[in-house]
Amino acid sequence: KRLVLIGPPGSGKGTQSPMIKNENCLCHLATGDLLRAAVAAKTPLGLEAKKAMDAGALVTDEIVVGLIEENIKKPECRTGFVLDGFPRTVVQAQKLDEMLSSKGQSIDRVLNFAVADQALVDRITGRWVHPASGRSYHEKFAPPRVAGVDDVTGEPLVKRKDDNAETLKSRLSAFHAQTAPVIDHYKQRVVNIKADKPQKEVAEQVRKALA
Ligand code: ADP
Ligand code: ADP
Ligand code: ADP
């Protein structure tokens, strides 16, 4: 399966990804995670992306398309993939379609994680992440077993620099202006997910959408 997850910041894409990946034997590529790793490693690409990310704006299409081209070649992506946070512009979607069609492939399904903007403030301001794995927790909705500590590795959790109410406004504007049109681009392949439900109910909707 070749899948795309689209949804505003905090809609639960990263939370559902491990289940989707494991139950369908796919690789998981999250451009946000790849970019944050490049920023932390201070690579030239990371240094270039950092400003836009801190401001809640999108990084250039060129940078993220390059990251996907590089990562989608990996052997673990041969059986299929789940793209989380990519494509986020129509240009990115067109580049992705070209990349795949040159190999006789295409996107099978696009899951549209719908959550109203108002609900996202609490989701984002309460989020804690384990940077190395991309796992996310929530201080109210999905707390770790021990506060501040990743359940799997025991390593510390951190707050993302862009997870504040102010930057969220910019990220939501970018979503509505630049990412929402990607849903129309893939229209026949889109399945809407009511992502404002509890995590387990969202997981059930996703399973049905992929069955
Ligand atoms: P969210 O939790 O808001 O869905 P991500 O981790 O997917 O956030 O993305 C964080 C930031 O990384 C975005 O605000 C943007 O600056 C950058 N980014 C991630 N993916 C893309 C993309 N496909 N195109 C442009 N910028 C991206
Ligand atoms: P995204 O990857 O779309 O930006 P995340 O999966 O990181 O979003 O989820 C954002 C925050 O909301 C996290 O703190 C996560 O624990 C929490 N969360 C995810 N799904 C739900 C849900 N269905 N109900 C309540 N909180 C959720
Ligand atoms: P206490 O646990 O002493 O009542 P806090 O609730 O402020 O105090 O937690 C102490 C620290 O643990 C916080 O500063 C924060 O860094 C972290 N923390 C608290 N709750 C969570 C959570 N659900 N997930 C991750 N880290 C948390």
Identify the CATH number of the domain in which residue 63 sits. 3.40.50.300
Average pLDDT over residues 177-196: 97
Write the CA distances from 79 to 61, 74, 76, 105, integer angstroms: 25, 10, 7, 12
156 within a domain of the structure (yes/no): no
How many CB atoms are located within 10 Å of the residue 24 CB? 15
Query: Which tens digit of pLDDT belongs to each residue from 114-128?
Result: 999 999 999 999 999
Residues having CB within 6 Å of any atom of ligand 2: 7, 9-15, 123, 126-127, 136-138, 141-142, 198-199, 202
Domain around 48: 2-116+165-210
Is 18 close to ligand 3, i.e. is its CB under 6 Å away? no
Query: Rounded to the nearest 5°, which phi and psi values hold at 9?
Result: -55, 130
Average pLDDT over residues 60-66: 96
**ipTM surpasses cut 0.90:** no
CA of 139 to the centre of ligand 3 (A): 8
Is 139 close to ligand 3, i.e. is its CB under 6 Å away? yes
Strand partners, 30: 84
Write the CA distances from 152 to 76, 145, 149, 155, 157, integer angstroms: 22, 10, 9, 8, 11
Query: Which tens digit of pLDDT belongs to each residue from 137-176?
Result: 999 999 999 999 999 999 999 999 999 999 999 999 999 9
Total tally of structural domains belonging to the chain: 1
148 within a domain of the structure (yes/no): no
pLDDT of residue 101: 96
Amino acid, res. 131: P
Is 152 close to ligand 3, i.e. is its CB under 6 Å away? no
